Amino acid sequence: MKIILILMIIFSMNFIFMKHPLSMGMMLLMQTLLSCLICSFYLSSYLFSYILYLIFIGGMMILFMYMSSIASNEKFIFSFKLMFFNISFLYLTYLFNMIDLKSLNNVNNIMMYMNYNNYMIMKLYIIPSGMMTLMITIYLLFVLIIVINMLMMSMLTLRSSL
């Protein structure tokens, strides 16, 4: 669990340094996979995280198709600044590895007195997984609005001219 959280932080920091649209999409895809893994750890059923991952993949396929048509001939340049940043961040993470993430397990102590059905439903919407559910919902709304706005323009590659 701690490794997945560290990987999410590293991918978030790497996203800042990315300049190529396809590498940004790859980072976003990795973030999606890791967030769905974290969501599946909190829930006993993997169905919600699987459906969420499929929805994200559908949106990412649309974005990938659009970005590959825009940036088809751009060269991917390897950044040494990004590699140095990753190494230094991993070193700092190793130094600060003494921080214990037991506050994430407080959900189990709160929900111990509820019955099993309420526990499964409430686990999605309370801290810390409630913030993740809210952020995923806002992200899906944002991607939906962007895709609709891109399709409403008349001279884009995704819209077929009949």
Residue 6 within a domain = yes
Q: Which domain range does residue 122 map to?
A: 2-152
pLDDT value for 21: 76
Residue 10 near residue 90, CB atoms below 8 Å: yes
pLDDT of 42 > 60? The answer is yes
Eight-state DSSP code of residue 125: T
CA 125, CA 38: separation in Å to the nearest integer?
Answer: 14
pLDDT value for 118: 60
Residue 32 within a domain = yes
Residue 158 within a domain = no
Give residue-wise pLDDT tens across range 62-76: 877 777 777 667 677
Mean per-residue pLDDT, 146-150:
77
Residue 160 within a domain = no
Position 142 confidence tier, pLDDT thresholds 50, 70, 90: confident
CA 65, CA 53: separation in Å to the nearest integer?
Answer: 18
Domains held by the chain: number:
1
pLDDT value for 108: 57
pTM above 0.85, yes or no: no
Residue 124 within a domain = yes
- The encoded tokens of residue 14 equal 């790497």
Q: Which helix (H) or strand (E) holds 45?
A: none
Position 124 confidence tier, pLDDT thresholds 50, 70, 90: low
CA 142, CA 138: separation in Å to the nearest integer?
Answer: 6
Average per-residue pLDDT in the chain?
A: 73
Residue 161 within a domain = no
Residue 162 within a domain = no
Give residue-wise pLDDT tens across range 7-26: 888 888 788 777 777 788 88
